[in-house]
């Protein structure tokens, strides 16, 4: 007899019985009809001088791509893996946030906002005497700042189409939000979603000189409980709330981690640990990531499935490959004449989307190495339905043809501590010879690091039914 167990959703909050969910889904991400591998970090730049406090990547209208990052004393751009100081000595107590406004990037850090010229690769204090700010977002033709001049419930906005106009004129202004508590994050777009500690407010441009923005309550039941948990993909906004992970969009608020990962996440970390969280959206795939030191919690919003990654990372952000300068081309090829193609070829402009990881050592990497070790923990199976199952053959449902390890845990009762036997021999016909017997069988499939594979879907077991136990 044969039973097939497919790889379902990872739901560690649920018991591993009478379910088709996974107990482990590590170093992989959900795809249609299976899971795909996650690659190891491959370094692209050294660490900053100080501790990483934020980063982003932006493309100017002329196609120039810049990767920008900041620490506690300076703001930098990278070229050829080398960081260049943009502003000089600063004192940054919180963390950097960035938003692109035309060909400039507005960078805020709790003190005076900074303007980065993407084409010139220079930076200076933002003109127009803007307020100090912790948060920044863009809506239409406006720059919106949050927690301005030390007021944790206030938002301010620039003049229309003018990032250097503040404090009156051109529709510029400010507004304290007296309900909802401390502002935890801003998400821009057609309007600005203001995420607060105990609620959410949406600010929408009205066109009225007297009241340029309308403020509407989105929620009084959900708020943002960790300010670096906010991530945005178009009109989708994600964050960690007191009720778990949530997704916000025009249709409402969805609890995406309920009865899946919320309890496991909450039991794993303290409130103090939340200060170490970073979040971002993978620019190539429909994945939103919450990064805790050494562990990434990954959610595929298109498929509504979770996985987790164990990688030596403390932060991550969406980025683009940076542009290559003429000096760097000469260093690579000797002279400009030896450069393949032309120097204005789009391949040298950069702009390819990628996910940038900040490691334990502060170095910057992309996930471009060999495949990490992937692990899939299936739930308890009862192949013989009340009888002992004598399993003699297993068949991993994956295109990996080597580097496979299958552990079969077996027991007579659900409460027993199961015995596990590891099998690694994969025959040419795709079968693995095994030998276990138990009423409950729990497979754990591993594909070791460095193995070449593209998908994994499950495990088949061939068994004989024995007596009742």
Lookup: tokens for 432 = 């693995």
Q: Which residues contact 123 (CB under 8 A, 6 or more apart)?
A: 75, 86, 87, 107, 114, 115, 116, 117
The three-state secondary structure class of 292 is strand
Instruction: Give me the torsion for CA of 316, 322, 327, 329, rounded to 10°.
Output: 110
pLDDT score of 321: 83
**Which of 2.30.31.20, 3.90.1640.30, 2.130.10.10, 2.60.40.10 would CATH assign to domain 42-322+350-366?**
2.130.10.10
Cα distance between residue 377 and residue 375, in whole Å: 7
pLDDT score of 425: 97
pLDDT score of 64: 87
Cα distance between residue 244 and residue 143, in whole Å: 30
Asked if 131 and 176 count as a contact pair (C-beta separation under 8 A), the reply is no
Give strand ranges (E) for 9-158.
24-26, 28-31, 34-37, 42-45, 55-59, 65-70, 75-79, 82-85, 97-101, 104-108, 114-117, 122-125, 135-139, 142-146, 154-157
pLDDT score of 451: 98
Q: Report domain extents, the chain.
A: 2-38+372-465, 42-322+350-366
The H-or-E segment that residue 398 falls in is strand 389-398
pLDDT score of 319: 93
Asked if 39 and 370 count as a contact pair (C-beta separation under 8 A), the reply is yes
Q: What is the pTM of this model?
A: 0.92
Q: What is the pLDDT of residues 263-297, one digit of tens each?
A: 999 999 998 999 999 999 999 999 999 999 999 99
Intervals of the chain under pLDDT 50: 323-334, 336, 338-350
The position carrying tokens 């950069």 is 350
Q: Is CATH 2.60.120 the classification given to domain 2-38+372-465? A: yes
């Amino acid at each position: 007899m044969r039973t097939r167990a497919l790889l379902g959703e990872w739901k560690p909050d649920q018991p591993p019985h009478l379910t088709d969910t996974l107990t482990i889904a590590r170093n992989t991400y959900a795809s249609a009809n299976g899971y795909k591998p996650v690659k190891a970090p491959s370094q692209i730049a050294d660490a900053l001088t100080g501790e990483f406090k934020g980063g982003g990547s932006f493309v100017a209208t002329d196609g120039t791509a810049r990767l920008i990052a900041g620490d506690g004393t300076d703001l930098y751009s990278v070229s050829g893996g080398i960081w260049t100081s943009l502003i000089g000595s600063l004192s940054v107590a919180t963390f950097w946030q960035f938003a692109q406004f035309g060909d400039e990037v507005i960078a805020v850090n709790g003190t005076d906002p900074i303007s980065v010229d993407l084409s010139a690769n220079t930076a200076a204090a933002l003109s127009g005497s803007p307020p100090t700010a912790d948060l920044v977002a863009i809506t239409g033709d406006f720059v919106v700042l949050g927690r301005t001049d030390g007021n944790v419930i206030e938002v301010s906005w620039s003049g229309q189409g003018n990032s250097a106009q503040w404090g009156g004129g051109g529709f510029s202004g400010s507004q304290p939000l007296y309900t909802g508590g401390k502002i935890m994050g801003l998400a821009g777009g057609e309007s600005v979603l203001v995420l607060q500690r105990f609620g959410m407010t949406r600010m929408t441009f009205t066109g009225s000189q007297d009241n340029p923005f309308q403020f509407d309550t989105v929620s009084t039941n959900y708020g943002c409980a960790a300010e670096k948990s906010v991530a945005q993909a178009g009109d989708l906004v994600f964050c960690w709330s007191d009720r778990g992970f949530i997704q916000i969009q025009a249709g409402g608020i969805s609890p995406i981690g309920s009865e899946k990962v919320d309890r496991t996440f909450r039991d794993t970390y303290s409130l103090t640990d939340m200060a170490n969280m970073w979040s971002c959206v993978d620019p190539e795939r429909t994945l939103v990531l919450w990064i805790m030191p050494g562990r990434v919690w990954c959610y595929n919003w298109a498929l509504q499935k979770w996985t987790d990654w164990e990688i030596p990372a403390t932060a991550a952000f969406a980025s683009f490959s940076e542009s290559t300068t003429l000096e760097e081309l000469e260093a690579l090829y000797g002279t400009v004449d030896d450069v393949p193609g032309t120097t204005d070829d789009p391949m040298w402009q950069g702009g390819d989307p990628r996910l940038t990881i900040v490691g334990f050592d502060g170095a910057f990497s992309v996930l471009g190495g060999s495949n990490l070790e992937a692990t899939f923990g299936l739930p308890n199976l009862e192949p013989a339905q009340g009888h002992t199952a004598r399993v003699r053959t297993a068949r991993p449902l994956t295109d990996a043809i080597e580097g496979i390890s299958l552990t079969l845990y077996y027991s007579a009762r659900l409460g027993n501590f199961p015995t596990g036997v590891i099998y690694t021999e994969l025959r040419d016909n795709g079968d693995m010879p095994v030998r276990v017997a138990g009423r409950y069988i729990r497979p754990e499939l591993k594909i070791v690091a460095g193995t070449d594979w593209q998908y994994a879907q499950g495990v088949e077991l061939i068994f004989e039914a024995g007596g009742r136990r």
